[in-house]
Amino acid sequence: MQNKPKNNDVKPGQTPTKAKLNIKTVFVVLFASFFFLSLLLSMKDVNKTYPEKPLTQIVQDIKKNKVKSIEIEGNKVTTFYKNGDGVTSNKEPEGGFISLLQQSDIDTSKLDITVKSIDSNSLIVTFLSNLIPTILMIAFFIFLFKQARGAQDSVFSFGQAKSKKYVKEISRITFEDVAGVNEAKKELEEIVDFLKHPKKYQKLGARSPKGVLLFGPAGTGKTLLAKAVAGESNVPFFSIAGSEFMEMLVGIGAARVRDLFATAKKASPSIIFIDEVDAIGRTRSGGAMPAHDEREQTLNQILVEMDGFTPNDQVIVIAATNRGDLLDPALLRPGRFDRRIVLDYPDVEGRLAILKIHAKGKPFVKDVSWEKIAKRTVGYSGADLENMLNEAAIAAARDNKTTISMAQLEEAATKVKLGPEKKRLQTDADKNITAYHEAGHGIVTHFQPNMDPVHRISIISRGMSLGFTLIPPRADRLHETKTHLVQMITSMMGGRAAEETVFGETTTGAANDFDQATRIARAMVVEYGMSPLGPINFGPTFDVTEWGRQSWEQNTISQNLLSQIDEQVKVIVMDGYAKAVAIIKKNRKSLDKVALELVKKESLDDEEFLKLVTK
Ligand code: ADP
Ligand code: MG
Ligand code: ZN
């Protein structure tokens, strides 16, 4: 979001350029003048460095007729000897040197004495040389202070003159740029209509919508939708992230809210977009979380501002969060964020539509099957898909291609979720083990009737893993069956089963598989009632409200029951393992073929895999 100008040191009554002058230029000028003055001073001093001698000795020397001339300047007496030496002495400010000489019976008329009045130049120099370091120090501290406050406002001006912070954005994004969220669009169309034709609603006495809460996982298009509403209704858009409200000093957040709303009202009809609203709107104290004054004040101010809207204000607040479960109920009351729009990961059709939007303007080879990509990218958000297309374009450019190929898309899809390939050096023995491990997952998956097809197997390491087997879940499955869960656990055991069967040895590579399998097994026993312990919830009890808010309390379970639960989890996992070993042993030939091919090619797609296992 580029609605915040970077210069935040604007004080009331100053233009931003002047403010810039103040900090940097003054600092530089001070530094330069200090540098030159000290240079000047040191040059002056070079001419004047004579050894010091007490006045009493000078008097002796005069008596001995060694002295040629004397210069008196202020409290400084410089004596030049006939042999060419020079010395300086300091006299008392009150005591005149000449009268001292006269007291010592010296005929001053015979001496060459020059009395210089203190030269005004040197006075200034002395003065400045004392003053400048002080000024410099002060300037330096102010500078440090401002730096430390960073993008925040100076303590002395908080709550003021910050209208400049909220630059209105004019959005050119429309609903056409957002895909796969048709219900959300339909609900937001009403808001657009209200912003476009407020009179129509006022005439009927309809209370204007005030707040819309967009609730959904990261990257599903919350920010995009808010901008699209602004673009569609052709009104200015003021945006700020919840975390930006939070400051070091209590009270700033609230002041910013006041400011933001005032600015938006002036520009009305308009939209205020508060991103990450959970940063401020978390459930207030009275719980595990300690009370947070600043958050509370900021939140209260938002509520006050929203309550204070008059029907003529025509300002709509859109807030976004991916933690709807954390929000304070006060935010959700009627007249506040009373419209809630839930966004979720797009389904196949949604993904297809999103892919088409972002594929525009990128050259692809003719045989790209968008349907296939849409099917394969289960669980990808809109942002993931956009990112994937971008990665594919980058890969094509890097390979000096003029079009983006299916293989590049495929690679990009994997990269977006699993991280880039790592060319980790694997010895042949390591490669062989990894190949058998992954082939084991593939084979056990393939030879179980209810499992989804293997999409890809690879022994190229990515992120933390040495290899992977991709089995995207079918998109149209709404219910998880016990059969499918058990088969999934069995597939997860396939890696270790293959290692054990082929090498008679176990490796650390299967730790992640066990973790996932155990989780599923535990959920089956504790939450889904899929074990002989019966349809009882042994875990936390959920109280899921309309849109995801959850509260829970731990059930009290006896030690005896706890060990029974553990026992059942163990039974499910061990059964899965036994089945996996059986499948591996029965299909050893296919396993060998796949593993061998994996060592050769490092990566197999669905067709290559199918050919190997069905032959
Ligand atoms: P969020 O705010 O929910 O985290 P964003 O709105 O910032 O997600 O989405 C990031 C980017 O992902 C968008 O700029 C857009 O390019 C793409 N994107 C996300 N969802 C969609 C969608 N439904 N349709 C089209 N593009 C999308
Ligand atoms: Mg966002
Ligand atoms: Zn594994």
DSSP 8-state class, residue 369: -
Higher pLDDT, 133 or 218: 218
Cβ of 253 below 6 Å from ligand 1: no
Cβ of 239 below 6 Å from ligand 1: no
User: Ligand 1 pocket: which of 172, 220, 222, 224 to mutate (most atoms <8 Å of CB)?
Assistant: 224
Nearest ligand to the CA of 221 is 1
74 within some domain: no
Q: Tell me the pLDDT tens digit for each residue of 108-157.
A: 777 777 777 666 666 677 777 778 778 888 888 887 776 666 545 444 44
Instruction: Based on the fold, state whether residues 201 and 234 are members of the same structural domain.
Output: yes
Residue-level pLDDT at 475: 57
Cβ of 72 below 6 Å from ligand 1: no
What's the 490 CA to ligand 3 centre distance in angstroms?
11
Torsion sign over Cα 560, 562, 564, 566: negative
**Pair 417, 378: CB distance under 8 Å:** no
Atom of ligand 1 nearest to the CA of 226: 6
Torsion sign over Cα 537, 543, 549, 553: negative
Structure tokens at 379: 């669980």
For the domain that residue 450 is a member of, what is the CATH number? 1.20.58.760
For the sheet containing 86-90, what is the strand order? 86-90, 76-81, 67-73, 112-116
Instruction: Based on the fold, state whether residues 571 and 437 are members of the same structural domain.
Output: yes
Instruction: Based on the fold, state whether residues 303 and 392 are members of the same structural domain.
Output: no
Residue-level pLDDT at 575: 96
Instruction: Based on the fold, state whether residues 377 and 252 are members of the same structural domain.
Output: no
Domain count, the chain: 3
72-95 average pLDDT score: 79
Nearest ligand to the CA of 217 is 1
67 within some domain: no
For the domain that residue 365 is a member of, what is the CATH number? 1.10.8.60
514 within some domain: yes
The residues assigned a catalytic role are 438
Nearest ligand to the CA of 434 is 3
Residue ending a domain, among 418, 449, 465, is 418
Nearest to 168 by CA among 262, 252, 264: 264
86-90, 230-234, 282-286, 552-556: which range is least confident on average?
282-286
Residue-level pLDDT at 545: 47
Q: Tell me the pLDDT tens digit for each residue of 379-425.
A: 889 999 999 999 999 999 999 989 999 889 988 988 888 777 776 66
Residue-level pLDDT at 244: 74
Cβ of 386 below 6 Å from ligand 1: yes
Instruction: Based on the fold, state whether residues 366 and 476 are members of the same structural domain.
Output: no
Burial 313-325 (b: 16+ CB within 10 A, else e): bbbbbbbbbbebb
Instruction: Based on the fold, state whether residues 260 and 368 are members of the same structural domain.
Output: no
What's the 354 CA to ligand 1 centre distance in angstroms?
9
Q: How would residue 258 be classed by pLDDT, with cut points 50, 70 and 90?
A: confident
Atom of ligand 1 nearest to the CA of 357: 25
Atom of ligand 1 nearest to the CA of 181: 23
Cβ of 181 below 6 Å from ligand 1: yes
Would you say residue 478 has pLDDT above 60? yes
d(CA 209, CA 201): 10
Residue-level pLDDT at 167: 67
225-229 average pLDDT score: 91
406 within some domain: yes
Q: What is the pTM of this model?
A: 0.60
Range of the domain at 404: 348-418
Cβ of 318 below 6 Å from ligand 1: no
What's the 222 CA to ligand 2 centre distance in angstroms?
6
27-31, 394-398, 597-601: which range is least confident on average?
27-31
75-79, 106-110, 210-214: which range is least confident on average?
106-110
33 within some domain: no
What's the 420 CA to ligand 2 centre distance in angstroms?
24
Cβ of 132 below 6 Å from ligand 1: no
363-367, 422-426, 536-540: which range is least confident on average?
422-426
Would you say residue 268 has pLDDT above 60? yes
Bridge partners for 317 per DSSP: 211, 272
264-277 average pLDDT score: 86
286 within some domain: yes
Q: How would residue 543 be classed by pLDDT, with cut points 50, 70 and 90?
A: low
Higher pLDDT, 286 or 374: 374
**Pair 410, 372: CB distance under 8 Å:** no
Helices marked H in 150-241? 182-196, 198-203, 222-233
17-26, 37-46, 366-375, 590-599: which range is least confident on average?
17-26
Instruction: Based on the fold, state whether residues 393 and 459 are members of the same structural domain.
Output: no
Size of the chain in residues: 615
10 within some domain: no
Structure tokens at 319: 């807030």
User: In this prediction, what percent of the chain has a pLDDT beyond 70?
Assistant: 80
What's the 241 CA to ligand 2 centre distance in angstroms?
9
Q: Tell me the pLDDT tens digit for each residue of 547-597.
A: 444 555 556 778 888 899 999 999 999 999 999 999 999 999 999 999 999
Atom of ligand 1 nearest to the CA of 343: 3
Instruction: Based on the fold, state whether residues 457 and 491 are members of the same structural domain.
Output: yes
120-134, 334-348, 367-381, 426-440: which range is least confident on average?
120-134
Residue-level pLDDT at 577: 97
100 within some domain: no
Residue ending a domain, among 296, 321, 342, is 342
Instruction: Based on the fold, state whether residues 425 and 414 are members of the same structural domain.
Output: no
Would you say residue 249 has pLDDT above 50? yes
**Averaged pLDDT of the chain:** 79
What's the 516 CA to ligand 3 centre distance in angstroms?
10
Q: Tell me the pLDDT tens digit for each residue of 271-285.
A: 999 888 877 766 554
Q: How would residue 297 be classed by pLDDT, with cut points 50, 70 and 90?
A: confident
What's the 1 CA to ligand 1 centre distance in angstroms?
13
Instruction: Based on the fold, state whether residues 331 and 361 are members of the same structural domain.
Output: no
Bridge partners for 213 per DSSP: 319, 340
Nearest to 576 by CA among 473, 510, 485: 485
Instruction: Based on the fold, state whether residues 195 and 316 are members of the same structural domain.
Output: yes
Residue ending a domain, among 400, 418, 436, is 418
For the domain that residue 271 is a member of, what is the CATH number? 3.40.50.300
Q: How would residue 160 be classed by pLDDT, with cut points 50, 70 and 90?
A: very low
Torsion sign over Cα 426, 430, 436, 437: negative
Q: How many CB atoms lie within 10 A of CB 505?
A: 8
CA nearest ligand 1 atom 5, residue? 221
286-310 average pLDDT score: 71
Cβ of 374 below 6 Å from ligand 1: no
Instruction: Based on the fold, state whether residues 218 and 367 are members of the same structural domain.
Output: no
41-50, 100-109, 515-524: which range is least confident on average?
41-50
Would you say residue 48 has pLDDT above 60? no
Query: Could you give the 3-state DSSP secondary structure of residue 539?
Result: coil
Cβ of 383 below 6 Å from ligand 1: yes
